[in-house]
Each structure stands twice: as structure tokens, then as C-alpha cells.
Amino acid sequence: MSIIIDESTRLVVQGITGRAASFHTSEMLKYGTKVVAGVTPGKGGTQDDHGVPIFNTVKEAVEATGANASIIFVPAKFAADAILEANAAEVDLIVAITEGIPTRDMIEATRIVKMGKTRLIGPNCPGLISPGKSLVGILPDNVFTPGPIGFISRSGTLTYEIVDELTRVGLGQSTCIGIGGDPIIGTTFVDVLPLFEADPNTKCVVMVGEIGGSDEEDGAEYIKNHMTKPVVGFIGGRTAPAGKRMGHAGAIISGKSGTPQAKVDAMLAAGVPVADTTHDIPALVKKALGL
């Protein structure tokens, strides 16, 4: 099995005629994802370079194609409205790739989305992949392979690096999710961990965090109280200079909250082994699985 996406996922690409969206639409189609529609206002009734029908609105796309998921490549100043449009069309899943969406916009957008049934992943995320089934995002599919490891990360680059190391030692993945590194995101570690806990084909979870915020501490608390499956952790940015923002907009330390050591300590207190380097993760996963 997998979580959130699989062979039944029918995807609409918002902003499909943009350069990045066009490229990644091609990659998702090559992987076998059912990209059934695109949306670019004013270009309804046409097709993109891959033969995907284009509509003026998400509602029209959903009604015509049965799309149940959306991926957003819309520029930052319009992206929150694009999220709300997809939410109003009642798709099951929205994946917001766009970086740089104003935090104030996302506070309102996430509030409205959480009132309904739609799951929002991102923004500023690489998306997700259920290897061998579906790719919704910008992840390089060649490093992923089917298997029993669930993977959640705030960092796209660390996702690719670590999954490649897991794949090289025969540790395939059930689903890999990049939740994004912005201060306000739609799906957190605590939202994803229960899904992996309930998935019979996920035997171990790798949770990759970074400095800033408190999502990792919240995740560790959930693991301690609810997870029966083993979890292996990693925290990026442990050598970051004090007072310097690193990478993501969410990588901001306020007082003692969000420090790398606080996150490591929370994971260790929850019984989660924490890798010192990315290269240590495969061995810790094997140990957790008794291999």
C-alpha cells in the first residue's frame, strides 16, 4: 500500500503552461501519474504540449475529468488564491510547490482548507511520491524504489540525498513526503505519522527535520505516545551559526524553541535514534527493522 496518493490519483496542474509546470508535467506523465487536466485562465479549450486538456478554472477541470488532486505551480502572489480555488473545487489533495508565498496569505489559506476535507501539502515543498504508483511533485523519481520505509521531511534536498542512500542498500519506500519548510504549512509531521502507523506495508519511518519551529518536538511527542512502528530521525542544520537564518523561511529559532539540540533531545526522549550524518541513516533503519 501507500498513503495519500496511488494509481487512482487523478491530477490537475494549476499553472500548467508555465515553464517549470510544463517540465514537471512531462516528468509526472513519464512516471505514470494520471495527469488529467491543466488550468491556466484564458487558455481553456486548448491542450498543453503533452496533450493534456487545459481549463480556465479548477472547478471546470474537476467536473470534466474527475480530477481528485491538484498541484500548484502558480507564481507566489497568486498561489494562495490558487489553493483556495482548488479547495473550493473539493479535491482530496492540494500540493503547493510554489516558494515565497506571503505568510499572511498562508495563514488565511490554511485556516480555510482545514475547515474542509481537503489535505494541503506545502507550500515550498517538493511534493510526494509513492514509488511505482504515482508522483505528484518535483522529486527526481530515479532515486526512489518500492519498499517498506515511510519517509517525511521538511527538506527537499535532504529527501533526495537520504532516499538515494536507502535505495542503494535495498531499503525501498512506501511513500515519501516533503512537507515544506515555510513557517505556515498545510501538513505537519503529526499529520503524516498516523497515516504511516496505519499503513500495513510501512514497517519503519524516517523523519527528517531541521532547525526552526517546533514541528519536530510535536512529532516526537506523538511518536512517544502513539507510534508502535520504529522511527529513525535526523535534524539538519545542527552546525548552523547562532543567530543566522539557514535556508527555509521556517528555519528560525526563537529563544530555546527550535534549536537543533532541543529537537534531538525530544526525539531521543521518544525513543527515536537520531543519526549524526545522513550516511548513518540506512544502518539505523536496518537496526530498527532487525536486519
Domains of the chain: 10-121 (3.40.50.720), 140-289 (3.40.50.261)
The C-alpha atoms of residue 3 and residue 199 are separated, in whole angstroms, by 7
Rounded Cα–Cα distance for residues 140 and 137 (Å): 9
How would you classify the pairing of strands 127-130 and 173-178?
antiparallel
- CA-to-CA distance for 137 and 188, rounded, in angstroms? 17
What is the mean predicted confidence (pLDDT) over 218-242?
87
What is residue 4's predicted lDDT score, i.e. its pLDDT? 98
Question: Which helix (H) or strand (E) element contains residue 174?
Answer: strand 173-178
The SS3 call for residue 232 is strand
Q: What's the average model confidence in pLDDT over 17-39? A: 97
Catalytic residues: 248
pLDDT in tens, 211-221: 777 899 999 99
State pLDDT tens for residues 61-74.
999 999 999 999 99
| Pairing verdict, β 119-121 and 93-96 | parallel
Amino acid 257: pLDDT: 53
For the record, the C-alpha cell of 79 comes out as 498561489
Note whether 91 and 69 are within 8 A (CB): yes
Q: How far is CA 144 from CA 120, 170, 259, in A?
A: 23, 11, 31
pLDDT of residue 210: 86
Output the average pLDDT for the chain: 93
- Measuring CA to CA, how many Å separate 38 from each of 42, 73, 87, 207, 222? 12, 11, 16, 32, 38
Please state the pTM of the whole predicted model.
0.93
160-183 burial, b if ≥16 CB within 10 A, otherwise e? Answer: bbbbebbbeeebebbbbbbbbbbb
Alpha-carbon gap, residue 102 to 100, rounded angstroms = 6
pLDDT in tens, 235-256: 986 555 565 555 554 445 455 5
Cell readout for 21 is: 509546470
